């Protein structure tokens, strides 16, 4: 097995790194403090080919695989995880759902705008009272001739306000029935479709999170993705790939926090020598480096399975769980290595620390990943 990036993959990773340095790094704390969502940067990312990474070129995408996708999300997240999160959610959730489950007419209609970054996508599954228990959702889609009428709301939605288009899962059957939910595409400006509260968050503050609200929102049956009743099953498959996204985001945070800590530990002198020479610090760095290697291997094995059309549910859950829990631990140790300076906004580890926690929650909590893994290994 070849563990090295190809020349093309190295070029893609370097392009993402240069993009992050030029367009993101100068504004990190400004966006974080004000919770500004830089939609213009995502449009620019589209010009670079980062908004339709695995979408075929005929739909305006880059036509890359998941190894390249991990590299892009990782490099951007090493600089600002908020932007890494937004790009990941756009690719794997909204755009991915239309690509994997839309018919040809739907792909031709929506993918070129999404894959080029002209439009920013949102994806709505979670509700106020149904987080991990998504099957108990209350948002409904009632058939009315050639249309469906949507009522309800979704929360914790990335790009809930700024998104031009959303893929929304709504109940078309009985509550709790895995085949009682369907997926719909709803464009911004559709009567009855509005944005609600924007969340004030601990971390990932430059990635917009808000409600989607549906009040007798009437959409044509042509906006149904796949068949009626397939929405929840589709969502589970989308989340398989989404876990690779969050794993890549976690890996970027881990590497960013580790590299900052390694640099600081070599430069910071106490008792007449660099703190890196003290075992208490050097062992933390050793643990960080090891967990990063393990996360990377799990993620790229998951990418290999995904690229080859193999089932990735179990390994993707393992990769997401391990990488996300590791990034929280690494970010925590990074603050500790920096001491008092790590608790200030003058050093990057404070923000990595705040941003890291979302990775153990979004797109399936660590506890849900353990449910998925244990269920599959006990079959």
Percent of the chain as helix, strand, coil, to the nearest 5: 55, 15, 25
Instruction: Give residue 132's pLDDT.
Output: 86
Q: Is the entire prediction scored with pTM above 0.85?
A: yes
CA atoms lying within 13 Å on the CB side of residue 231: 30
Counting beta carbons within 10 angstroms of the beta carbon of residue 213, is it exposed (0 to 12), middle (13 to 18) or buried (19 or more)? buried
Which of 63, 53, 130 minimizes the C-alpha distance to 95? 53
Q: Say how many C-beta atoms besides its own lie within 10 A of residue 191's C-beta.
A: 10
Cβ contacts of residue 42 below 8 Å, gap of 6+? 51, 83, 86, 87, 90, 117, 120
Instruction: Give residue 273's pLDDT.
Output: 98
Instruction: Give residue 134's pLDDT.
Output: 83
Altogether, the residues listed in the chain come to a count of: 379
Which of 65, 70, 123 minimizes the C-alpha distance to 94? 123
Q: What φ, ψ does residue 166 adopt, rounded to 5°?
A: -135, 140
In DSSP notation, 255-305 reads HHHHHHHHHHHHH-EETTEEGGGSHHHHHHHHHHHHHHHHHHHHHHHHHHH
Cα(191)–Cα(193) distance, rounded to whole angstroms? 6
Rounded to an integer, what is the distance from CA 77 to the centroid of its chain? Answer: 10
Cα(235)–Cα(237) distance, rounded to whole angstroms? 5
pLDDT per residue as tens, the chain (379 positions): 678 889 999 999 999 999 999 999 999 999 999 999 999 999 999 999 999 999 999 999 999 999 999 999 999 999 999 999 999 999 999 999 999 999 999 999 999 999 999 999 999 999 998 888 888 899 999 999 999 999 999 999 999 999 999 999 999 999 889 899 999 999 999 999 999 999 999 999 999 999 999 999 999 999 999 999 999 999 999 999 999 999 999 999 999 999 999 999 999 999 999 999 999 999 999 999 999 999 999 999 999 999 999 999 999 999 999 999 999 999 999 999 999 999 999 999 999 999 999 999 999 999 999 999 999 999 8
The number of helices, as runs of H, and strands, as runs of E, in the chain is 12, 10
Instruction: Give residue 1's pLDDT.
Output: 65
Cα(63)–Cα(367) distance, rounded to whole angstroms? 33
Contact in structure between 263 and 86 (CB atoms under 8 Å): no
CA atoms lying within 13 Å on the CB side of residue 249: 35
Report, as residue numbers or ranges, the catalytic residues.
Answer: 363
List the beta bridge partners of residue 218: 149
- 265-322, pLDDT tens digit by residue? 999 999 999 999 999 999 999 999 999 999 999 999 999 999 999 999 999 999 999 9
Cα(209)–Cα(1) distance, rounded to whole angstroms? 40
């Amino acid at each position: 097995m070849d563990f090295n990036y190809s020349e093309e993959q190295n070029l893609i990773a370097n392009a993402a790194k240069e993009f992050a340095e030029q367009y993101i790094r100068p504004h990190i704390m400004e966006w974080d403090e004000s919770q500004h969502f830089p939609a213009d940067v995502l449009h620019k990312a589209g010009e670079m080919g980062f908004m339709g990474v695995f979408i075929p070129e005929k739909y305006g995408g880059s036509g890359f695989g998941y190894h390249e996708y991990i590299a892009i999300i990782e490099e951007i997240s090493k600089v600002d995880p908020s932007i890494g999160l937004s790009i990941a959610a756009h690719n794997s959730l909204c755009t991915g759902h239309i690509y994997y489950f839309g018919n040809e007419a739907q792909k031709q209609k929506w993918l070129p705008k999404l894959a080029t970054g002209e439009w920013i996508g949102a994806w709505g599954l979670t509700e106020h009272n149904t987080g991990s228990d998504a099957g108990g959702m209350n948002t409904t889609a009632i058939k009315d001739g050639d249309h469906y009428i949507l009522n309800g709301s979704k929360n914790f939605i990335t790009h809930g306000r700024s998104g031009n288009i959303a893929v929304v899962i709504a109940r078309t059957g009985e509550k709790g029935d895995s085949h009682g939910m369907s997926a719909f595409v709803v464009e911004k400006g559709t009567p009855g479709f509005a944005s609600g509260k924007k969340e004030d968050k601990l971390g990932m503050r430059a990635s917009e999170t808000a409600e989607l609200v549906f009040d007798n929102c009437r959409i044509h049956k042509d906006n149904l993705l796949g068949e009626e009743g397939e929405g929840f099953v589709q969502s589970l498959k989308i989340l398989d790939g989404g876990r690779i996204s969050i794993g890549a985001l976690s890996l970027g945070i881990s590497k960013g926090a580790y590299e900052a800590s390694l640099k600081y530990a070599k430069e910071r002198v106490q008792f007449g020598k660099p703190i890196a020479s003290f075992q208490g610090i050097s062992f933390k760095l050793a643990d960080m480096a090891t967990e990063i290697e393990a996360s990377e291997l799990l993620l790229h094995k998951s990418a290999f399975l995904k690229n080859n059309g193999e089932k990735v549910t179990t390994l993707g859950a393992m990769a997401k769980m391990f990488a996300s829990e590791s990034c929280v631990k690494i970010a925590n140790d990074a603050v500790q290595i920096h001491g008092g300076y790590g608790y200030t906004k003058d050093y990057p580890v404070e923000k990595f620390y705040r941003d890291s926690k979302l990775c153990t929650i979004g797109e399936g909590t660590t506890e849900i990943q353990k449910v998925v893994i244990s269920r599959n290994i006990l079959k």
